[in-house]
């Protein structure tokens, strides 16, 4: 694998960390100074766990509620993309806590377009593997609209390809606000038979 992953020419920074211990409290999360990443997911966040119930996102693959490995332990968005989405929506900001973010990055261009199996590495040794981009859905859209009744465009339309990525913990460790993020990218090529 040392030959498979290439270190990106840029480095990111952790702009903000968030967690929400209580799923019943809704999607909105609270800011944190640091976050301990365990194989089970980020400590103190309700979206952790080694497995989860499959939802509408994989309805073509699984009956809803099927127990599947949790490749969505963390939701990662970028400050730059959030600002672009807000601009498109004609609102001042899309706050990370409205969209269920655990990590907000700065300095990773087109975060949402990072290839699957990209690795994000932190100074403690913590490592997150990206599964796939996240799709904008109704839940955050409703929260944002409740805060911004005068929005010009809805979140689902504005956030397409800018809603960040989801991933899982490959190596445990503490991550802190302000940490640099090293990005490791897998071989890139288009599969010809898709």
**Interacting residues with its own copies (CB under 8 A):** 1-10, 39, 50-51, 54, 56-62, 66-69, 71, 109-110, 113-117, 119, 121, 125, 127, 129, 131-133, 135, 168-172, 184-194
Supply the minimum distance, in Å, between the C-beta of residue 162 and its own copies. 14
Q: Which CB atom, from 93 or from 173, has the smaller least distance to its own copies?
A: 173
Measured distance CA(136)–CA(57) in Å, rounded: 11
Of the candidates 73, 42, 67, 72, the residue with the CA atom closest to the CA atom of residue 53: 67
**Contact (CB, 8 A) for 169 and 50:** no
What is d(CA 180, CA 50) in angstroms, rounded to the nearest whole number? Answer: 26
Element (H, E) at 81: helix 79-89
Shortest distance in whole angstroms from residue 150 CB to its own copies: 29
Smallest distance from its own copies to CB 51, Å? 6
Count of CB atoms situated within 10 Å of the CB of 162: 23
Nearer CB in complex with its own copies: 146/188: 188
Q: By C-beta, is 96 or 136 nearer to its own copies?
A: 136
């Amino acid at each position: 694998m040392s030959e498979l992953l290439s270190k990106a020419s840029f480095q990111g920074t952790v702009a903000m960390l968030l967690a929400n211990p209580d799923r019943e409290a809704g999607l909105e999360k609270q800011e944190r100074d640091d976050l301990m990443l365990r194989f089970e997911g980020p400590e103190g966040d309700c979206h952790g766990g080694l497995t989860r119930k499959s939802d509408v996102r994989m309805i073509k693959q699984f009956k809803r509620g099927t127990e599947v490995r949790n490749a969505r332990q963390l939701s990662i968005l970028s400050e730059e993309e959030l600002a672009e989405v807000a601009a498109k929506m004609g609102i001042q900001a899309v706050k990370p806590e409205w969209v269920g973010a655990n990590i907000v990055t700065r300095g990773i261009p087109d975060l949402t377009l990072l290839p699957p199996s990209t690795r994000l590495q932190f100074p403690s040794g913590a490592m997150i593997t990206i599964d796939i981009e996240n799709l904008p859905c109704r839940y955050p859209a409703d929260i944002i609209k409740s805060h911004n009744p005068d929005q010009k465009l809805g979140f689902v339309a504005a956030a397409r390809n800018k809603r960040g990525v989801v991933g899982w913990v490959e190596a445990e460790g503490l991550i802190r606000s302000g940490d640099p993020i090293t990005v490791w990218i897998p071989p890139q090529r288009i599969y010809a038979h898709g």
